[in-house]
Amino acid sequence: MKTGSVLFVGAGPGDPKLLTIKGMEALQRADVVVYDRLANPLLLAHAKPDARLVYCGKEADRHTLPQDEINLLLVREAQKGQTVVRLKGGDPSMFGRVGEEAQVCLSHGIPFEIVPGITSGMAAPLYAGIPLTHREYNSSVAFVTGHLCEKNADKEPDWSGLALVETLVIYMGVKNLPRIKDQLLHHGKHPDTPVALVRWGTLGKQETVAGRLETIDRTVAEAGFTAPAIIVIGEVVRLRDSLSWYESKPLFGQRVAVASRQTGKYSLENVLEQVGAEVWPIPLTEQSLSTSDAAGQGIPEDFSTYEWLVFDSELQVSAFFRELSARRYDLRRLQANIVAYNQQTAFALEEKGLYPDLVIGAAIPASALHQMLPLNSGERALHVSSDQSAVILHAQGSVTHTVQAGGLEWDPSHPLAKWFASDSFDWIATDDPNTLSALTQFAGLDWRKKRLLCVGTETITRAKELGWSEVIECAQAERLAEVLGQMKVAGEVTPLYS
């Protein structure tokens, strides 16, 4: 029987883009992913569609799976020949029990690897504007667990030694903060030593509370501050006043669900992240395509008799060729003039061996399409679009027949879909008119009242035609930061995580 392996992967501190490349590659080849509470669920998008996902999150006094069962699960799945990824928040070796779990694998003859991750003890303070070292403030840092065990007094940290360290970073210490404070003061730490707690660091819901060591427990209690949080104790905390870069961004505290197919420097996801939003890409799937039904939807059986074939986008090209394949249609029989709305659509057609006779260069309503086409008397144009089906009669008996095909749908069956509730997002955003139908499905019955950020004139126009009332307009993604910055100044951006 072939033995599989276990890969212990650090998921990073929360922001899914802080996962390492090696960690991403491990997820991509995993058959089973065992993930914990602090691993961002968006990371599961890197896993194969058929990978088994097992949650084993641990919260105070409540464990989904006890540690012994987690150990047995890793061994059992690996013994079946599976590649198992144990996805741990932060770095797996920083108070993450990777040593214990790796020893269990070793004792059962299971090969394993350990992929380091960015630990929250370093990342969360940096996102709060607190570098852990600075030549003018300190030359030593200690990382300590604040999860103190009453049964093992001999495992207590050496508080007398730690009181001498210039910067302390404490994990899992919120519950025991009064005791930690008392121990440090008792062993000589100055009462005015600056302290900061960073909760949910690197995410849009990041919160930071700062104060003095002598009163920090009262400050935290008054703020209603709870775990999980990183505690930083030391003079470097004073730098937060000038170096707080993340929490000052225009869209900090905003969670945005994004439907987009664009990539690159000015993609909607990238620009939103640059202005501080926490971005969640919405799971989408291409609409299934069938032949024309009673409502006129789908590509008609006699499509080859049309004199013109017009395509909105690459999605419509893809849908059209899937239909040709299903019908076993010989492309050499096609005699129609081919029209693309834009250059990207033209490229998609050329890749399939169809070279457009006309590239319009911009999206136009179906009702105006005949003005762009040199239709002769009685000629018919088949417009393959994401719009609703319609037949429009023109002068001299010419006809434009618009069929709905190649759109996108919200995919509620996607493994990530259970984390997407439309009311948990401040915004819904898109730069693609082909996604608008999917967004109405995602947003639910009250979709017209959801705040929709639209980028691009075509997307804006289509959203308004559909009846979306809360539309925030931006003509170009490059100007998005400027538009959102102006909204924040005007007081129109209210954080969801307030």
Domains along the chain? 5-118 (3.40.1010.10), 122-243 (3.30.950.10), 255-286+409-489 (3.40.50.10090), 303-406 (3.40.50.10090)
Tokens of 163: 């009181």
- The one catalytic residue in 36, 387, 431, 432 is 36
User: Quick one: 488 exposed, middle or buried, by C-beta within 10 A (0-12, 13-18, 19+)?
Assistant: middle
Provide the residue type at 483 as one letter: V
Q: In this structure, are residues 270 and 210 in contact, taking their beta carbons and an 8 Å threshold?
A: no
**Which residue in the block uniquely carries the two structure tokens 């937060």?**
240
DSSP type of residue 394: -
Cis peptide before 228 (omega within 30 of 0): yes
What is the C-alpha end-to-end distance of the chain, expressed in Å? 54
Q: Rounded distance, CA 40 to CA 90, Å?
A: 10
Q: Could you confirm whether 58 is annotated as catalytic?
A: yes
172 is catalytic: yes
Q: For residue 34, which of 58, 17, 18, 52 has the smallest C-alpha distance?
A: 52
The structure's pTM equals 0.82
Q: How far are the Cα atoms of 127, 211, 274, 305 from residue 339, in angstroms, in the given order?
A: 50, 65, 37, 16
Contact 230, 125 (CB under 8 A): yes
User: b/e string for 86-122 if b means 16 or more Cβ within 10 A?
Assistant: bbbbbbbbbbbbbeebbebbeebebebebbbbbbbbb
CA 381 to each of CA 5, 324, 399, 402: distance values in angstroms, whole numbers, following the listed order: 57, 18, 6, 8
CA angle 438, 444, 450 (to 5 degrees): 90
- Strand ranges across the sheet with 52-55: 52-55, 32-35, 83-88, 5-10, 112-115
Smallest Cα–Cα separation from 380: which of 300, 305, 299?
Answer: 305
**Closest among 425, 411, 417, 414 to 453, alpha carbons compared:** 425
| pLDDT tens by residue, the chain, 498 residues | 578 999 999 999 999 999 999 999 999 999 999 999 899 999 999 999 999 999 997 665 555 688 899 999 999 999 999 999 999 999 999 998 899 999 999 999 999 999 999 999 999 999 999 999 999 999 999 999 998 655 555 678 899 999 999 999 999 999 999 999 999 999 999 999 999 999 999 999 999 999 999 999 999 999 999 999 999 999 999 999 999 999 999 889 989 999 988 777 778 899 899 889 999 999 988 776 544 443 445 778 888 889 989 998 888 898 888 888 888 888 888 889 999 988 989 999 999 989 999 998 876 766 777 778 888 888 888 888 876 667 777 666 788 788 877 778 888 888 888 888 877 888 899 998 888 888 988 888 888 888 899 988 888 888 888 888 888 888 877 777 777 767 766 666 665 543
Q: Under a CB-based contact definition with an 8 Å cutoff, are residues 114 and 93 in contact?
A: yes
Residue 61 confidence (pLDDT): 56
DSSP states of 315-375: HHHHHHHHHHHHHT--GGG--SEEEESSHHHHHHHHHTT---SEE--S---GGGHHHHS-P
Whether residue 195 contacts residue 213, with contact meaning beta carbons closer than 8 Å, is answered with yes
Catalytic-residue membership of 265: no
> The tokens 């929490």 sit on which residue?
247
Contacts of 144 (CB under 8 A, 6+ apart): 157, 162, 168, 169, 170, 171, 173
Catalytic entry in 15, 88, 122, 172: 172
* CA–CA dist 138, 90 (Å, integer): 24
- In the set 22, 24, 58, 205, the catalytic residue is 58
**Rounded Cα distance, 428 and 442, in Å:** 9
Distances (CA, A) of 213 to 88, 156, 189, 241, 382: 31, 20, 8, 17, 73
Pairing of strands 194-199, 229-233: antiparallel
H/E element, 229: strand 229-233
